[in-house]
Amino acid sequence: MEEVLRRFYEGVSWISDRSGRLVSYLMILLVLNIVYDVFARFVFNAPTIWSYMLSCMTGTSIISLGMCYVLYHNANVRVDIFYSHFPLRVKLLVDIVLTALVFFPLIFMLTRVWALDTWHSWVIGEISTETIWYPPLWPIKTIITLGFALLFLQGVAMFFRDLVWLRKGGERPWSG
């Protein structure tokens, strides 16, 4: 059973790591888009109709698909006033309890809500009315849903890793 959990953890962690690394290249697109828009607006006095929404969608993609990467690398913000002073077993217990009581319900609910909203967006062919460009919204909503689903999977993988880690008395069950 432990081998199955290890493989699950490693597989999900590999996806999370690659997702974060791949989406980091979107920062280049975001910067180039903003630079182009500023240049077009102030040098040629010809603002674009698409740059604002493209920037919003690119930034949203970076955040959505980067959440699982942040969780995997434990780069999320914590209030370490007390937590950092706890022994490893207490930290594991706190992580397990809070994951079960807060993380799972919240992220599952957000994933479900976004999945339903994305499905609705696909069905009706929803478009954005914030600009006169009117881009379709189903692609970005699909990316957000995927991001929450990957975050949920990474949380499940880390939850199982922490359970095995706690069961082994604080000895690392496997690398990562």
84-99 confidence digits (pLDDT tens): 898 989 999 999 999 9
Token pair in block for residue 59: 């930034």
Q: Measured between alpha carbons, how far is 90 from 83 in angstroms, rounded to an integer?
A: 9
Confidence at residue 81, expressed as pLDDT on a 0 to 100 scale: 86
What percent of the chain has pLDDT above 70? Answer: 98
Please name which of 118, 105, 176 lies closest in space to residue 147, comparing C-alpha atoms.
118
Phi and psi based region of residue 78 (left: phi greater than 0; alpha: psi -120 to 50; beta: remaining): beta
Domain locations in the chain as residue ranges? 2-167
| Dihedral sign for Cα atoms in the order 142, 147, 149, 150 | positive
Q: Measured between alpha carbons, how far is 159 from 5 in angstroms, rounded to an integer?
A: 10
Q: Is the pLDDT of residue 39 over 80?
A: yes
Q: Is the pLDDT of residue 120 over 70?
A: yes
The pLDDT of 128-152, averaged and rounded, is: 95
Please state the separation of Cα 116 from the chain's center in Å: 18
Q: Measured between alpha carbons, how far is 150 from 22 in angstroms, rounded to an integer?
A: 14
pLDDT-based confidence at 169, cuts 50/70/90?
A: confident
Mean pLDDT (the chain) is: 93
Q: Is the pLDDT of residue 77 over 70?
A: yes
3-state secondary structure of 54: helix
The pLDDT of 22-44, averaged and rounded, is: 96
